[in-house]
Structure 1
């Protein structure tokens, strides 16, 4: 559940949807794994079936569970004592975890009961993706607590790789048939448990020039992945394109590698609203770090208002520059009132992208939004002239499918994963060509020739059906049922 603690889209979104979905499958008992990226969190409770648990009074149990919550969400302005305690834990943690891994000790998992902390579980883990109707399904979930920080586990592997090979903590997964990890996992499971890696993309290996913190990210991804492969992990890839990339690097995992596409949240469906409501969303969800000039109501809610929409983190791989150049060409040659909405958080190396947008941010013709709830995002999808997915590389690309679910038209870069996921429900353009993107957008939004847009919307309704939970969850059921008994090493 570590990704679910941060962010709206992408892997955090998939983690929430997958947990919710698996809990609805018959015959499965699903628990989440709480783990921080950077903090040593409190240990939680002994399992309720143990004498150690029964020796604790109710107030002691609540106290220990509260400490887990506090350790996951520390104070914004910690006191000196908190800072010193955090510094001490950060200093001692590497020594502790390395020494335990070196002598083969298992890292115990604490127990966390979500029922007394429904507000924390719901708002911090699930609310950014799931509708409130799912609260009873997920907010009372039982979880396990892994104290070793995820980034520290990666760092331990990298620092020990030249002295006998990467050393990773062995998590005590006794009693579990399967552990599903989002992305390559810097750890090992106990004998009798299958590791299933939810593999999103091989971009850190095949496009390392497009990622943040390149050296660490590439090395940590590779070495954790190599350890997972060597340990016999199974891989559930989010697309066939991702599966092919994984087999390019590790062809030996082909018998243990399947494709199960991502699910799209049931938040997304066609919904009409007024132009005034769209303007309210634009005005209130502006990114406060790069907000530029506030949108002018008279220019944004007129009867002929049109806008292009892109939903993605701001980072070089997402190809904002090509979209901006195409949009400028469209305004110059054909659509002088066309606006541009960018929805997404600021990613790595975003300064150059933002600087390129600044003249248009100053005029108000481009607006950058963030933290847009799904209920508002579906309105933006539905009313956009087109949703543009210009990325240079993806593992799946939620935004195009979400737009289709909302009755929108999609224009996408011509990369293998888009062809696979979007099929005939998108207009494609040469990935690196602003002129070709401008051509594709013109064909889709041209009011004189609306046939293509209507066809794309109709195809989108059909294609996007494949990514509804009702279609994807049976695939997970078949895959999990097909796993052989885990070898007891």
Structure 2
């Protein structure tokens, strides 16, 4: 038996939760020995791919993970392997496969408080080091995690993200006026303040009718985040949207912009490519690994470099078509089924009598 830590069903969906949901859904078609467990209370879904989620214990959050889940596992016959897919799990547990997406909290410390960084780094060390195996989403993250926590890189398996099936669509009619789309939180390392500042400068200096739509944080949070606010009518903050609306926004945009300073992988650029959008991305190492030659890059801390990229993709239809074609080819290289097969293979090597 393999117990799947489904605490992610109590959390809002970001790339981390998306990874967990997609991998579990695919694994359920490959294995019949998974037991899905979550804290008590409301869940985003009561089952995954038709398999019900059992709710154990009485606590929430980290306390559930460190107390209720640990206690339930200790009382389960056969010492089951635990699969934790969203960065945390019971500390000091050896029979565990734990996923760690990146070490942004170490490399971009200004994004998080000192208290959070200190606690999270200690929690991660006590989870990653004893675990049977670690999963991450890119070779870049594998090397980063190994360096920060002094792990043998061979202990860490790379299982990439993908664009969910619903995002593999034909682009629709471009909106009028046209717009660039960005999908991101407003955390400082996401570099949205540079994008807002540069895009406003671009529109003011060229008179372009193109607009910028930002998805991922509520408008009320903008003023509290790293100078990201603006009164420009060329920039619209849409907040969080559901997948149906996000697909619509991808389908009718002119291009996609992803200015992040640091990523472990970066799902939104793949979603954009699968939707038939050209991508303008920062030159962060993980993005170059994932996107290869399929995106137009800019120097991630340079306003001038970003300005040039915006101008090119806004005005050059031939260039846009080039990156649309390259992007669709790139997005097709990644699939959740392929990634789940990799996790399945890892689980099979760690459990006796598991189906190969």
Same fold (TM over 0.5): yes
Change (3 A) 1:452 1:204: same
* Unmatched 5+ stretches in structure 2: 1-5
Aligned partners of 1:328 and 1:348: how far apart in 2?
A: 20
1:451 Cα shift? 2.5
Change (3 A) 1:353 1:453: same
Aligned partners of 1:348 and 1:237: how far apart in 2?
A: 33
Change (3 A) 1:240 1:32: same
SS of residue matched to 2:262:
coil
CA contact (8 A) 1:4 1:15 kept: no
CA contact (8 A) 2:26 2:337 kept: no
Change (3 A) 1:14 1:272: same
Note the 1:271-350 alignment, pairs <5 A: 271-273=170-172, 302=176, 305-346=177-218, 350=222
1:369 Cα shift? 1.2
SS of residue matched to 1:314:
coil
Alignment match, 1:468: 335
1:352 Cα shift? 4.2
1:125 Cα shift? 3.0
1:424 to 281, 293, 315: 293
Alignment match, 2:3: none
1:194 Cα shift? 2.4
Alignment match, 1:32: 36
Aligned partners of 1:406 and 1:384: how far apart in 2?
A: 10
Alignment match, 2:161: 262
CA contact (8 A) 1:466 1:472 kept: no
Change (3 A) 1:473 1:391: same
TM-score (norm 2): 0.86
Deviations 1:318-367 (A, max 9, x none): 1111111221232133352111100012499743448653311xx3x221
Aligned partners of 1:184 and 1:253: how far apart in 2?
A: 19
Alignment match, 1:16: 21
Higher relative contact order by CA 8 Å / sep ≥ 6: 1 or 2?
A: 2
Deviations 1:402-442 (A, max 9, x none): 00111111111101010011111111101111211111122
Deviations 1:230-258 (A, max 9, x none): 42431100111111110111233323111
Deviations 1:36-77 (A, max 9, x none): xxxxxxxxxxxxxxxxxxxxxxxxxxxxxxxx4xxx24xxxx
SS of residue matched to 2:115:
helix
The count of aligned residue pairs is 344
Alignment match, 2:45: 125
Alignment match, 1:288: none
Alignment match, 1:459: 326
Note the 1:157-176 alignment, pairs <5 A: 172=73, 174=76, 175=78
Deviations 1:428-471 (A, max 9, x none): 1011112111111222232xx32321121111111112222233
1:307 Cα shift? 0.6
Alignment match, 1:7: 12
1:376 Cα shift? 2.1
Report which of the two structures shows the higher radius of gyration computed on alpha carbons: 1
Higher helix share: 1
Change (3 A) 1:481 1:351: same
Aligned partners of 1:311 and 1:125: how far apart in 2?
A: 24
Change (3 A) 1:353 1:221: closer
Alignment match, 1:184: 88
Change (3 A) 1:215 1:426: same
CA contact (8 A) 2:261 2:284 kept: yes
1:203 to 78, 85, 104: 104
CA contact (8 A) 2:180 2:257 kept: yes
Change (3 A) 1:217 1:139: farther
Residue 251 (structure 2) pairs with residue 251 (structure 1): no
CA contact (8 A) 1:169 1:188 kept: no
CA contact (8 A) 1:241 1:416 kept: yes
Aligned partners of 1:349 and 1:375: how far apart in 2?
A: 23
Deviations 1:371-390 (A, max 9, x none): 32212212211221211110
Change (3 A) 1:474 1:335: farther
Aligned partners of 2:270 and 2:29: how far apart in 1?
A: 23
Change (3 A) 1:146 1:456: farther
CA contact (8 A) 2:215 2:237 kept: yes
Aligned partners of 2:122 and 2:352: how far apart in 1?
A: 26
